């Protein structure tokens, strides 16, 4: 049962009829007071709350009503209905505890999605009991996400719970902590799993190309547009779009992104027709978005739009007990890949690895294990094998210091040199590119190829 609180009878009636058609029964109230009485007396699943009553348009009444409802029934999800002009009010409402906000005039499908998500999430909050790591693996197929750390287990429970909803998810965590892996796991556990999962690295897209990348363009839309181009949103239609490095997006592009996330509509450059898209949105960043909002570098309304569910991935140093598990997991994969079934890591080396400071987190650990396996000819990897690897990556450039012929491939040498230059120039892409004699574009491609963490710069 849904409650609609709106002073406009036309809105109440059309919403009630629409919801009935979709299988929901609804009660209506023309003002908050009437709404409170209904809330007290009925078992409701959600409330649709208009933000403006009488002639008042500041939204203050709506916010007061939201506070009262949250006091009456804290767990009852409330979806706010606001006009575009009153986005700050919606943001205020999200801080108070609204489940979501939709724009008036509303899109029926958007409204339905938001309602379903809110109801599903609140129902699950109540029923989420304690489940073991093994049960989680069985139920959601998390076998490839390694770790016994309690914080990671809490993350896995959350993703199990929310994957089936349409809720937007924001994953925060340092570089290499597994944000993309988690995003994929959410997609795999959703009803969209047989549709595309499209990853976009927003850090690598310049602001002038943002619209063409995301929404596509028609041939001739601008000077360099020689062919039609399909945008990422269109590619992700019916599936999931994973917006990585969202904290790198400039303010102009943030407005453009907000619109499509809000209304699920966009236009292809060079074509005025408005298109609709159906996507689940997952974002990730290693930046502190809250701080960026306070500094006015990230739009607050966009922040609330993308983080209905917030997932925080702990850095590896806070879960060092997982390092041996992860190292062995990567080793086992390499055993199969290189057909070296005798490979193992000595227990001394495993505990030595636990004490390493790995700023690149799990990705760095994975790279170290891979490089050590490639270089070492022995089956049992000892501390010195790992030490040699780590040192050789950090050594001064001098041809005399190059490893023995046959011990490294060109790719491995290239990888080591890029990591070294990145460290030397503290990740300054322009300087690194110059020192390696590469264009920035080529450097970015190589960083991607070798999975080297970096912060894209303009
Ligand atoms: N819990 C885990 N179990 C097994 N492998 C993991 C785990 N977490 C991360 N990995 C692996 O570590 C590597 C880095 O993970 P991923 O790309 O998901 O990190 P990220 O946080 O998205 O990094 P970035 O911020 O640099 O984009 C990947 O190869 C991934 O498969």
- Residue among 187, 189, 204, 287 nearest 241 (CA): 187
Average pLDDT over residues 409-429: 86
Average pLDDT over residues 411-440: 84
Compute, in angstroms, the gap from residue 360 CA to the centroid of ligand 1: 10
In this prediction, residue 412 has a pLDDT band, given cuts at 50, 70 and 90, of confident
User: Relative to the CA of 171, which ligand 1 atom is closest?
Assistant: 21
Furthest-apart CA atoms within the chain: distance in Å: 83
Mean pLDDT, rounded, of the chain: 87
Q: Which residues are bridge partners to 127 per DSSP?
A: none
pTM: 0.72
pLDDT at 161 over 90: no
- List the residue whose alpha carbon is closest to atom 26 of ligand 1: 175
Q: Which atom of ligand 1 lies closest to the CA of 322? A: 1
What CATH superfamily classification does 133-312 receive? P-loop containing nucleotide triphosphate hydrolases (3.40.50.300)
Span from the CA of 405 to the centroid of ligand 1 (angstroms): 32
Task: Tell me, yes or no, if the two domains 133-312 and 316-449 fold the same way.
Answer: no
What are the structure tokens assigned to 135, written together? 């049960």
The CA-atom distances, in angstroms, between 151 and each of 147, 154, 156, 179, 421 are: 10, 5, 9, 14, 34
pLDDT given for residue 125 in this prediction:
55
The CA-to-CA distance between both ends of the chain, in Å, stands at 50
- Strand, coil or helix: what is 429? helix
pLDDT at 126: 47
Q: How confident is the model at residue 391 (pLDDT cuts 50, 70, 90)?
A: low
pLDDT score for 400 = 56
The whole-number pLDDT of residue 187 equals: 97
Residues ≥6 apart with Cβ < 8 Å to 59: 51, 52, 82, 86, 89, 92
The structure tokens listed for 339 are 């057909």
Atom 25 of ligand 1, nearest CA residue = 175
Domain residue extents for the chain: 2-127, 133-312, 316-449
Q: Ligand 1, from 363, 364, 450: best to mutate by most atoms within 8 Å of Cβ?
A: 363
Percent of the chain with pLDDT strictly greater than 90: 51
Contact call for residues 215 and 233 (beta carbons, < 8 A)? yes
- pLDDT confidence band for 85 (50 / 70 / 90): low
Q: Give the ipTM of the model, two decimals please.
A: 0.98
d(CA 404, CA 409): 11
**CATH hierarchy code of domain 2-127:** 3.40.50.2300
Token output for 253? 């592009």
3-class SS of residue 15: helix
What are 368-383's pLDDT values in tens digits? 999 999 888 889 999 9
Non-local (6+) Cβ contacts of 158 within 8 A are 309, 311
Element (H, E) at 198: strand 197-201
Helix (H) or strand (E) holding 27: strand 26-29
Answer whether 320 contacts ligand 1 (Cβ < 6 A): no
Q: How would residue 185 be classed by pLDDT, with cut points 50, 70 and 90?
A: very high
- State how far the Cα of 27 lies from the Cα of 5, in Å rounded to an integer: 9
Q: Find the 200 Cα to ligand 1 centroid distance in Å.
A: 16
pLDDT tens digits for 187-202? 999 999 999 999 999 9
Separation of alpha carbons 192 and 238, rounded Å:
7
Higher pLDDT, 107 or 315: 315
Q: What average pLDDT does this structure show over 35-45?
A: 91
175 Cβ below 6 A of ligand 1: yes
Tell me, what's the pLDDT at 4? 95
Give the range among 51-65, 185-199, 310-324 with minimum mean pLDDT: 51-65
286 CB within 6 A, ligand 1: yes
The fold of 316-449 is Helicase, Ruva Protein; domain 3 (1.10.8)
Count of residues making up the chain:
458
> What is the whole-number distance in angstroms between the Cα of residue 450 and the centre of ligand 1?
13
Any atom of ligand 1 within 6 Å of the Cβ of 247 = no
Which pLDDT score is estimated for 124?
A: 62
pLDDT of 129 over the 80 cut: no
Task: Give 396's pLDDT tier (boundaries 50, 70, 90).
Answer: very low
Assess contact for 181 and 145: CB atoms under 8 A. yes
CB 120 near ligand 1, within 6 Å: no
Distance 179 CA to ligand 1 centre (A): 6
Q: Residue 54: how many CB atoms within 10 A of its CB?
A: 8
- Residue 397 has a pLDDT of 43
Compute the distance between CA of residue 348 and CA of residue 360 in angstroms, rounded to an integer. Answer: 22
């Amino acid at each position: 049962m849904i409650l609609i609180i709106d002073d406009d009878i036309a809105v109440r009636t059309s919403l009630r009829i629409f919801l009935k058609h979709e299988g929901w029964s609804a009660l209506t109230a023309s003002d908050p007071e009437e709404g409170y009485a209904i809330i007290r007396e009925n078992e409701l699943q959600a409330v649709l709350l208009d933000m403006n009553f009488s002639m008042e348009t500041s939204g203050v009444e709506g916010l007061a009503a939201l506070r009262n409802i949250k006091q009456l029934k804290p767990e009852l999800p409330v979806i706010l209905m606001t006009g575009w002009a009153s986005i700050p009010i919606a943001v205020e409402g999200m801080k108070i505890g609204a489940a979501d906000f939709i724009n008036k005039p509303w899109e029926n499908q958007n409204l339905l999605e938001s309602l379903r998500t809110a109801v599903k999430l609140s129902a699950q909050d109540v029923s989420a009991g304690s489940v073991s790591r093994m049960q989680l693996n069985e139920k959601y197929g998390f076998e490839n996400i390694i770790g016994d750390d309690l914080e990671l287990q809490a993350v896995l429970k959350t993703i199990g719970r929310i994957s089936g909803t349409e809720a937007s998810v924001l994953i925060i965590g340092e570089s290499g902590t597994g944000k993309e892996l988690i995003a994929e796991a959410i997609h795999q556990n959703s009803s969209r799993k047989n549709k595309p999962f499209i990853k976009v690295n927003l850090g690598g897209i310049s602001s002038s190309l943002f619209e063409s990348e995301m929404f596509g363009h028609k041939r001739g839309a601008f000077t360099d547009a020689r062919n039609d181009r399909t945008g990422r949103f269109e590619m992700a239609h019916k599936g999931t779009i994973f917006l990585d490095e969202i904290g790198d997006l400039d303010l102009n592009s943030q407005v453009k992104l907000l619109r499509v996330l809000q209304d699920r509509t966009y236009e292809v450059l060079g074509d005025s027709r408005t298109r609709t898209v159906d996507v689940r949105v997952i974002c990730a960043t290693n930046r502190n978005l809250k701080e960026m909002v306070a500094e006015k570098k990230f739009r607050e309304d966009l922040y609330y739009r993308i983080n209905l569910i917030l997932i925080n991935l702990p850095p590896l140093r806070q879960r060092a007990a997982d390092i041996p598990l992860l190292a062995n997991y990567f080793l086992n994969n390499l055993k199969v890949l290189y057909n070296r079934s005798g490979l193992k890591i000595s227990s001394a080396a495993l505990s030595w690895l636990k004490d390493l400071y790995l700023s690149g987190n799990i990705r760095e650990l994975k790279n170290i294990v891979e490089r050590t396996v490639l270089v070492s000819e022995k089956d049992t990897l000892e501390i010195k094998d790992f030490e040699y690897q780590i040192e050789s990556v950090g050594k001064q450039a001098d041809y005399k210091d190059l490893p023995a012929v046959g011990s490294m491939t060109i790719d491995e040498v290239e990888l080591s040199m890029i990591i070294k230059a990145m460290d030397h120039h503290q990740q300054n892409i322009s300087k690194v590119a110059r020192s390696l004699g590469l264009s920035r574009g080529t450097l970015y491609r190589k960083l991607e190829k070798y999975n080297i963490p970096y912060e894209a710069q303009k």
